[in-house]
Amino acid sequence: MPEVSTEYKNLMGKTLVALLSGPDQEGIVARVAGWIYEHGGNIIHADQHWDQEAGVFFQRIEWSVRSDTWADEAAFADHARSLGMTVRVEEMSTRSRVAVMVSKFDHCFHDLALRSKAGEFPAEFVAIVSNHPDLQKAAEGYGLPYHLVPALKGKKAEAEQQQLDLYRSLKVDLVVLARYMQVLSEDFLDRIGCPVINIHHSFLPAFAGGRPYHQAYDRGVKLIGATAHYATPVLDDGPIIVQDVARVTHRHNVNDLIRKGRDLEKTVLAQAVRFHLEHRILVYNNKTVVFD
């Protein structure tokens, strides 16, 4: 991502990013770029994708605007819609509000928290939600508000409602499942109103479901994997964002796979979260276009 100096930013007013998709048509690139140019915007990054098979056009476009000549984001969105596009416009300096859900495995939680502190994400972590009290102190050490929502037998609906209320009150833009070990109900996912990113500890679609490292060990694979994807009602079946693998041999037992896998899970989840927060991802046909 091109870095823009603060001075330049101030001069320019602000930087916007739009994600567009819609039926391919002649002149679409020119008509989007032309409108921005005519309204005093200066494009600083643009990436397109044409899915020839599906006949769909995708674009991520980033531009700076001078406060004196720029109309507004709504006007741009209207223009894009008049071209038949679905569109989302964001201001780059707006920091998303993120909730992280975690159970007892804490490696992804620590990794995300440290990256957040290091400034890797344009986001605020506004809530850590867990069904266990174990990470409360660690969360507070990072200055992150911690919410215990126990997963009691027969009380799933109440717990999910409590979570939904929390996310709504905190105006959460993204929920990250950082090895959260409870299955979220279809109802929860329907009602949450923001994307949910999950990390699954296998190379999907291999070894969906529980205990994937055990499954991988039993099958005798020579590579283990991790997959970050958007959560959908079908378990481990949502649009894949990032995947990576690590080499294993007959010498690695299940505990070794778990240990090696932790490193994969951390980097894969962090990269997916960063791509999402930088507005680089479009979803269609249960797949992702990732403009990296």
Greatest CA separation for the chain: 65
Q: Judged by CB, which is closer to a copy of itself: 176, or 238?
A: 238
CA–CA gap between residue 271 and residue 268 (Å, rounded): 5
Q: Which of residues 47-86 bind a copy of itself (CB under 8 A)?
A: 47-53, 58
Q: Judged by CB, which is closer to a copy of itself: 110, or 156?
A: 110
Q: Judged by CB, which is closer to a copy of itself: 14, or 107?
A: 107
Between vectors from CA 62 to CA 172 and to CA 64, what angle results, nearest 5°? 105
Residue type, 234: V
Structure tokens at 70: 């720029």
DSSP state at residue 170: T
Helices and strands: H and E segment counts in the chain: 9, 13
Residue pair 179/103 in contact by the 8 Å Cβ criterion: yes
Length of the chain: 292
> In angstroms, what is the minimal distance from the CB of 158 to a copy of itself?
33
Structure tokens at 49: 């994708």
Which candidate in 72, 190, 236, 292 is catalytic? 236
Q: Judged by CB, which is closer to a copy of itself: 85, or 172?
A: 85
Q: Contact letters (x/-) for a copy of itself, 156-195, by CB under 8 A?
A: ----------------------------------------
CA–CA gap between residue 106 and residue 35 (Å, rounded): 47
CA–CA gap between residue 176 and residue 156 (Å, rounded): 19
The size of the interface with a copy of itself (CB under 8 A), counted in residues, is 69
Q: Which of residues 192-251 bind a copy of itself (CB under 8 A)?
A: 203-207, 219-223, 225, 239-245, 249-251
> In angstroms, what is the minimal distance from the CB of 152 to a copy of itself?
28
Annotation says 236 is catalytic? yes
Give me the active site residues, please: 236
* List of residues contacting a copy of itself (CB under 8 A): 1-4, 26-31, 33-34, 36-38, 42-53, 58, 107, 110, 114, 118, 120, 141, 203-207, 219-223, 225, 239-245, 249-251, 253, 255-256, 259, 262-263, 267, 285-290, 292
